[in-house]
Amino acid sequence: MGYFDNMPENNTKPHAATFLATCPDRPGIIAAIAQTLYQKGINIISSDQYSTDHKDGQFFIRMVFDLSDNQVDHQELEKDLAEVASKLNMLWRLTYSNQLKRMALLVSRYDHCLMDLLWRWQSGELAVKIPFVISNHPDLKERVEAFGINYHHIAITPEAKLEQEAKILAMLAANKADFIVLARYMQILSTSFTQHYPNQIINIHHSFLPAFIGGNPFAMAHKRGVKMIGATAHYVTSDLDAGPIIAQDVTQISHRDHVEDLKRTSRDIERNVLARAVRWHIEDRIIVHGNRTIIFT
């Protein structure tokens, strides 16, 4: 059990709700949402919006509502917002601040991204529950369990890959995982797996996509003589390393750096980029539109 899993479920009214939505751009969208909230006495804490600037553009919005001193019934609020959304041809979702997301972690042998996320979680920086860590190797068991989190070793073999993935999916479902983070999980997930969690699987790739995709980007980058390297966090789709990009960063390198130098430098970037993407996902700051992301920071 993890630290947040030892806490009782909070059945009180949440402090805040976050509303994310997108629809075809038109006049009066913000006014329609604001009027619905005003009629219920709900105060808007923050609002951010973006619209594409071409004809027949798309509108995106993130609002945070204050519900701390309000007796609004959740079902009634959601029903009223659904009515507005229907009129606007809007895709939307509403989340509550006291309902912590459940984040499952998958990892292989590299520990830097995993340990960074666990430290951020332990320190309270990432407000999630972590039901377990799954790995295709036993190496990190003691280090993970020192955080009070269950560690499951499920070996992956080519002959039984789908069967082993089915075990993982069953564990995710049984533990009500909301999303998955691949903290350097060195396995390619099958399409049948990724379809269960659309835009809910975050991967960190140790290169600046779309350059140097695949499993050995450092050797390719070194051979090419690049002068900067980076890392990319993205949602996982059935296409390898081609899902919607969430966060990226780069740093300068020189001709003096060897492949091992690139790897060491990259680990620092990977930790920060993955943590940033995970935090944005937890805080409902991301809208996926096609193969792009709109991120409200």
Calculate the alpha carbon distances from 150 to 115, 135, 285 in Å.
14, 11, 29
Which of the following is catalytic: 241, 257, 261, 284? 241
Output the CA torsion 29→31→37→39 (10° steps): -130
Q: Is residue 72 exposed (0-12), middle (13-18) or buried (19+ Cβ within 10 Å)? A: middle
The one-letter code for the residue type at 245 is I
Other beta carbons within 10 angstroms of residue 288's beta carbon come to: 15
What is the rounded distance in angstroms from the CA atom of residue 41 to the CA atom of residue 145? 46
241 as an active site residue: the answer is yes
Backbone φ and ψ of 45, nearest 5°: -75, -45
What the block records as the tokens of 176 is: 């009500």
What is the rounded distance in angstroms from the CA atom of residue 213 to the CA atom of residue 143? 30
Of 188, 198, 206, 178, nearest to 269 (Cα)? Answer: 206
What the block records as the tokens of 86 is: 């229907």
Catalytic residues: 241
